[in-house]
A = this chain, B = another copy of it.
Amino acid sequence: MKQFMCLDVGGTKIRGALFGDENIEPIRQQKIPTQNQGQKVEDRICGLIREIWPVNSNVDAIAIAAPGFVDSDKGVVIRAVNIPGWEFLPLQKILQDKFNTPVIIGNDARLAALGEWKYGAAIGHHDVIYLTISTGIGGGVIIKDRVLMGSRGMATELGHITILPDGPLCSCGQKGHLEAISSGPAIAQFVQEEIKNGKKSSVSALKNFSSKEIAQAAFEGDELCQLAYKRAGSFLGMALVNLLHTFNPTCVVLGGGVSFTGDLLLEPMQKEIEKSILSKEYLGNLTFSTAKLGENAGLIGGLVLITVNNL
């Protein structure tokens, strides 16, 4: 039996799992905090790999899901916004040298897309768009059963698509990206600014509030909070229309915490899509679905990436 190891490196946690062949139930799994004072994140990754390494047997390949811009061809993390110091980090080489087994790295959202396509919400579809909407917005696209990587593995940065020129500032430093309008922090930012501008909202009584508290207040009838989700959902719909015109898929999968607020976000999204689509033909064979693999999507996507590449 072949054994594969997959890791998903997030801003706060690193999750690791050992898989046997193509079975998506891990033989063993563990998670640790990403940061620990005085330690490099890449050293913590190595530590976690050692901890779940099988006794008396080998690992046939390692896949790493990493946040931010990942050059899969060169095996380099170009920039990871949530992990300070990760700039042009040759993660593939570091791990290959240490563990003497093939290593493959990929953007976490692209790997999650692969996972949802093979084992989750998009089983049986050949052309899929996956968007994860949480602290950031990431994306992955499957075209005729292959994940779109781009010439350097930097394709489908779908959170960083300009949807409102000169709009709000994005985490990447540019303006008006989808992530700067429809992500969790962007929703909170919008409400904060409207409150500063004199708008009333029940959340203004809270010391801190995030998109979660805003969702709760919106469910309870708070108009500003409802507007915040309506705005985020409409722009999300506009971005999706652009993606439907670009990819003409049969399945759209939405993952990430913000998408689980349901109709609050999805109703204005659907309205915008119906209003702005070029032709109903784009919608005739299209399914919308929420992600099914939960927090394991990146790990399972890593497993798919390994088997697709025959490592």
Contact = CB atoms under 8 A, between A and B. Distances in A.
Interface residues of A, number: 43
A199 interface: no
A137 B138 CA distance: 28
Contacts of A127: 150-151
A154 interface: yes
Interface in A152-173: 152-158, 160-165, 172
A172 B161 CA distance: 22
A238 B150 CA distance: 19
B278 A246 contact: no
B245 A157 contact: yes
Contact of A162 (B146, B156, B241): B241
A86 interface: no
A78 interface: yes
Contact of A249 (B126, B151, B165, B247): B151
A151 B285 contact: yes
Contacts of A281: 69, 71, 78, 152, 154
A30 interface: no
A246 B248 contact: no
Contacts of A157: 245-246, 278
Contacts of A150: 127, 247-249
A151 B165 contact: no
Contact of A165 (B71, B154, B164, B278): B164
Given A143-B148, A276-B174, A282 B154 contact: yes
Given A69-B279, A78-B281, A172-B278, A246 B155 contact: yes
Interface in A198-241: 238, 241
Nearest to A152: B248
A250 interface: yes
Given A156-B246, A238-B165, A245-B161, A278 B174 contact: yes
A242 interface: yes
A245 B246 CA distance: 13
9 contacts: A151-B248, A151-B285, A152-B248, A154-B282, A155-B248, A161-B245, A162-B238, A174-B276, A174-B278
Given A158-B246, A161-B245, 5 more contacts: A69-B278, A126-B151, A154-B279, A156-B246, A162-B163
Closest 5 CB pairs between A and B? Answer: A150-B248, A155-B248, A157-B245, A154-B248, A127-B151
